[in-house]
Copies of this chain bind each other. A is one copy, B any other.
Amino acid sequence: MTISSFHPTARTLMGPGPSDVNPRILEALSRPTIGHLDPEFVSMMEEVKSMLQYAFQTSNELTLPVSAPGSAGMETCFANLVEPGDKVIVCRNGVFGMRMTENVERCGGEAVTIDDAWGKPVDPDKLRDTLKQHPDAKIVAFVHAETSTGARSDAKTLVEIAHGAGCLTIVDAVTSLGGVELKVDDWNIDAIYSGTQKCLSCVPGLSPVSFSERAIEKIKGRSSKVQSWFLDLNLVMGYWGGGAKRAYHHTAPVNSLYALHEALVLLQEEGLENAWQRHQLNHLALRAGLEAFGMDFVVDEEWRLPQLNSVRIPAGHDDATVRQRLLNEFNLEIGAGLGDLAGKVWRIGLMGYASNRKNVITCLSALEAVGLKADGSAVAAAQAVYDK
């Protein structure tokens, strides 16, 4: 057995995430590891918390990155908030809503599901009706930005409806944080989780979460222990919330947190609203190019996520062949469809650092080169958006 060091080919990541990581973040990642109780590290953790509050637009004290990927952030919300027997309304319009149902059931909760077609936003009227039929529901859960389809849902309205029925809310913001408007406090979201590898352009492996006072009350008032020791916020708070007197809970992923810190410094330098606008501008340019190729978007204009463009594959082009050529000839990764959309759509991400003019033009040119309509009209259409 002789295995040598691994040197990945540099790619351009325009799939559903991970997205291209800013070189400043990769450099931060490789700074010397220090102890997870080192005073310097503890100060850095406080800065991460404060910058996450900015990113989430919240003053929630309990705002921190879970030491594991977005799926663990999801589980942190459900395992802490759902008690055995709790009825939870889960709005499903893609893969991640389905995963929420799994979470509710594994926590001993009763899931009541509302289904909308993949590519459509969650329907507020259906939620209103379902809450009338289930006045004993405790929690409403939905995905703000469905990574599997590129559909945004109206989080503010859905939270209002849930609160009107006395429910807490759990919101998946894995793909929305940093890419589109998201205002945890203004929208009164109770529990929210995200990922680092999407519009924050950081490496995968951490899941920022935030909990309102109302959510914390439910967690503190539980009659049973949280079923996960690792994700039990009562314990995690002792480390992240302990100020100078931190209690050891688990060994924090030190270097990944350096990277998240740098990603958040970058977000702060750009400004959150500017980041949202940048995602929108590059989306419009990409869209102009894709439409010049004759491609249709899966999601109606109003609900399209600028950072995840799901388009139908034009007739005469084979999904796997095109994606493989893009990867092999251009080191360009775009995403495949999931579930019923597999083989029928591409998911082209413009997330965080990857959301830039060069990537938009590169992607359109590469699509031309592998056989999409090759008359230069796509690139020209995109350029026109920038030059407007």
Contacts and interface: CB of A to CB of B under 8 A. Distances in A.
B105 A41 contact: no
Contacts of A230: 68, 71-72, 74-75
Interface string A236-264: 00000000000011111111101101101
B3 A35 contact: no
A189 interface: no
Given A11-B32, A11-B34, A26-B32, A18 B71 contact: no
Interface residues of A toward B: which range? 35 or more
Chain A interface SS verdict (over half): loop
A315 interface: no
Interface stretch (A128-136, A164-172, A178-186, A220-228): A220-228
Given A18-B251, A40-B9, A103 B34 contact: no
A324 to B, nearest CB: 9
A102 B232 CA distance: 11
Nearest to A338: B248
Contact of A204 (B24, B29, B30, B254): B254
A50 interface: yes
Contact of A13 (B33, B70, B268): B33
A346 to B, nearest CB: 14
Contact of A195 (B41, B203, B251): B251
A126 interface: no
A344 interface: no
A33 B4 contact: no
Given A27-B30, A68-B230, A252-B204, A36 B10 contact: no
Scoring A50, A106, A229, A338 by chain B CB atoms within 10 A of each residue's CB, the highest score goes to: A229
Contacts of A256: 203, 205, 253, 255-256
A219 interface: no
A121 B245 CA distance: 31
30 contacts: A2-B268, A3-B47, A3-B265, A5-B24, A7-B31, A11-B34, A11-B35, A18-B33, A21-B33, A27-B30, A29-B30, A29-B255, A33-B197, A36-B204, A67-B69, A68-B68, A68-B69, A69-B251, A69-B252, A70-B250, A71-B229, A79-B228, A106-B228, A107-B227, A203-B254, A205-B253, A205-B255, A228-B228, A248-B338, A253-B256
Which 5 A/B pairs are nearest by Cβ-Cβ distance? A205-B253, A68-B68, A30-B30, A71-B250, A10-B32
